[in-house]
Amino acid sequence: MDKGDYKIIFTGPVGSGKTTAISSISDSAPIATDMKASDMTKSRKSQTTVAMDYGVLKVGGGEQIHLYGTPGQERFDFMWDILTTGGIGLVLLIDNTREKPMNDLKFFLNSFKEFIMNTAVVIGVTQMDKMNKPTIYDYRDELKEMSLNPPIFEVDARRKEDVSLLVQSLLFSLDPSINEV
């Protein structure tokens, strides 16, 4: 990584859209390590990330933001620490169609607690077109209970503008003088 480059990590449960989000926003061909999800009885998709996703976002001044996505499956959680090293912030994607998305929220915020304490987090709730509850307000209430107040948005990981909004708000919460991605 060159001087002036940054690293952001995308995480969240299986199917929340990490691989999709990185491929939506990456300026270079993204790298994915998806394999056939033959052992995942609960999954509604055929591929799952087993190591990481990687993409690059070019920003003003020739700087680049390196985007890393974690595997969603807990059995690959040894990758989570490796991938957060050197990162400046976390994008947490939550899939609203999963059985207990509020539990996913708590689980991931807790798993990345130390990293978040030292950096920043922004939350994107995906698949709200399929399932509109819990609402963003419900999430905010839950976050308040946890004494947290991170930016949280309804997003579609397939839409570049939505993913860009997440990255911009993360950068803004780290440094309000940054205003262009």
Ligand X SMILES: Nc1nc2c(ncn2[C@@H]2O[C@H](COP(=O)(O)OP(=O)(O)OP(=O)(O)O)[C@@H](O)[C@H]2O)c(=O)[nH]1
- Which residues contribute to the site for ligand X (CB under 6 A)? 12, 14-20, 45, 48-49, 71-72, 126-127, 129-130, 156-158
By CB under 5 A, name the one of 11, 16, 19, 23 that touches Mg ion: 19
Least spacing, CB of residue 67 vs ligand X, in Å: 12
Residues 91-110 that bind Mg ion (CB under 5 A): none
Tell me the closest approach of the beta carbon of residue 18 to Mg ion, in angstroms: 5
How many C-beta atoms surround the C-beta of residue 164 within 10 A? Answer: 16
CB-based burial, 86-106: b 16+ in 10 Å, e otherwise: ebbbbbbbbbbebeebeebbe
**Residue 5 or 43: which CB sits closer to ligand X?**
43
Question: Of ligand X, Mg ion, none, which one sits near residue 74, judging by CB under 5 to 8 A according to partner kind?
Answer: none
Q: Which two tokens stand for residue 155?
A: 């997003």
Residue 104 binding partner per list Mg ion, ligand X, none, with a CB distance cut-off of 5 to 8 Å that depends on partner kind: none
Give the binding site for Mg ion (CB under 5 A): 18-19, 49
